[in-house]
Amino acid sequence: MTGRRVTLVVNPSSGKGRAQELLPQVAGCLRDGGLELRILLSRDYAEARSMIESAAADGGIVAVMGGDGMLHLGLNAVAERYAAGDSSISLAMIPAGTGNDLCRGLGLAANDAIGAARLIVAGKRDLVDVIEVAGRRIGTVLATGFDAMVNRRANALAFPKGAARYPLATLAELRVFSPLRYQLTIDGEQRDLDAMLVAVGNTCCYGGGIRICPDADPRDGLLDLTIIHPVSRFRLLRLLPKLYTGEFVSDPCVERLHAREIEVDGPGLVAFGDGELLGATPLTARIQPAALPVFAP
């Protein structure tokens, strides 16, 4: 049956080789569960994209094993096919990267690849929302301010690799950062303001566990907006540890809203989604309810 056929696309180098190390156990779990398994090993991002798109065109279960970049490719390929009417298709996420934020946001343990494989065997499929922006779909958070600058700086660092880049990039960016000018249109209502950042979330996390939209629910048909209004560098530095717990939202500088559509514009603003560069503003983010069939708790 098509629904029990799994194409597993793997980035062996994800998580400093963790994906390659875990692959035999993941494959064994899927085969022992009676699934028909095909494994594809990608050598680079372009090849991974091609493999995932080809797997999605074949239908069935598209399993992606790697970090958030790989999962972003899988999300887009599967959501596009589902929107085109292929009800047989599903995305399965096997976390093996350093961030694994999409898995966190959908309730999967960020470091439990075997547990994710068992979800596939158990057939625990759900429909979740995604964000449509700049002709792409993202599953986690749209970053446009201080967070986007940190992401860009982290991507440029040759060392260290993995999630350790983000604290270093954060401290480096903090030295030179000043509030940004935003022009927002939130469900048709215009607002002009200065802010440290405006984050638009479908799920709660980005940057390797930063809970920027701590109450975001990817099944409620709404975008979660977190605005951090201008504060001093010292105060922002004090808030940073609380970003990992979500406790920062109690600070008076934080504003939270819900919307179905938000247009973001402002001089010099760039946007990242699922850790990937989306481009310069203006950008419009819209929620697509129940747009992604995925294996999740």
Q: Say if residues 243 and 210 touch (Cβ distance below 8 Å).
A: yes
For residues 254 and 192, give the distance between their C-alpha atoms in angstroms, rounded to a whole number.
16
171 contacts: CB under 8 Å, gap ≥ 6:
none
Question: Residues 236-251: what's their mean pLDDT?
Answer: 92
Most confident of 10-24, 159-173, 228-242, 256-270: 256-270
Is-contact 268 194, C-beta < 8 A?
Answer: no
Q: Which CATH superfamily is domain 2-123 in?
A: Probable inorganic polyphosphate/atp-NAD kinase; domain 1 (3.40.50.10330)
Name which of 153, 186, 148, 104 is nearest 278 in CA terms: 148
- Is 3's pLDDT higher than 60? no
Which residues sit opposite 197 in a β-bridge? Answer: 228
Domain boundaries, the chain: 2-123, 141-289
> What average pLDDT does the segment 60-65 reach?
96
| pLDDT at position 20 | 87
Asked: is 141-289 a CATH 2.60.200.40 domain? The reply is yes
| Interior angle at CA 266, CA 221 and CA 276, nearest 5 | 60
Residue pair 35/5 in contact (Cβ under 8 Å)? The answer is yes
pLDDT tens profile 155-170: 777 676 666 677 777 7
User: What number is the average pLDDT over the span 44-58?
Assistant: 94
Q: Examine the pLDDT at 2 and tell me if it is beyond 50.
A: no
Find the mean pLDDT for residues 242-252: 95
pLDDT at 169: 76
The least confident of 85-99, 150-164, 256-270 is 150-164
14 versus 191: the higher-pLDDT residue is: 191
Cα separation values, 75 from 64, 69, 107, 170, 192, Å:
9, 10, 16, 28, 33
Nearest Cα residue to 162 out of 110, 97, 212: 97
Burial of 248 (0-12, 13-18, 19+ CB in 10 A): buried
Cβ proximity of 65 and 11 under 8 Å: yes
Residue with the larger pLDDT of the pair 233 and 203: 203
The model's confidence at residue 171, banded by pLDDT at 50, 70 and 90, is: confident
Please report which helix (H) or strand (E) contains residue 190, including its range. Answer: strand 189-195
- Mean pLDDT on 128-137: 96
- Residue whose pair of structure tokens reads 């600070």 in the numeric block: 251
Convert the pLDDT of each residue in 89-131 to its tens digit: 999 999 988 788 999 999 999 889 999 999 999 998 999 999 9
Residue 1: per-residue pLDDT: 36
Write down the pTM of the prediction: 0.90
Mean of all residue pLDDT scores within the chain: 91
| Band of residue 137 on the pLDDT scale cut at 50, 70, 90 | very high
Residue 82 scores a pLDDT above 70:
yes
Strands 90-95 vs 61-66: parallel, antiparallel or unpaired: parallel
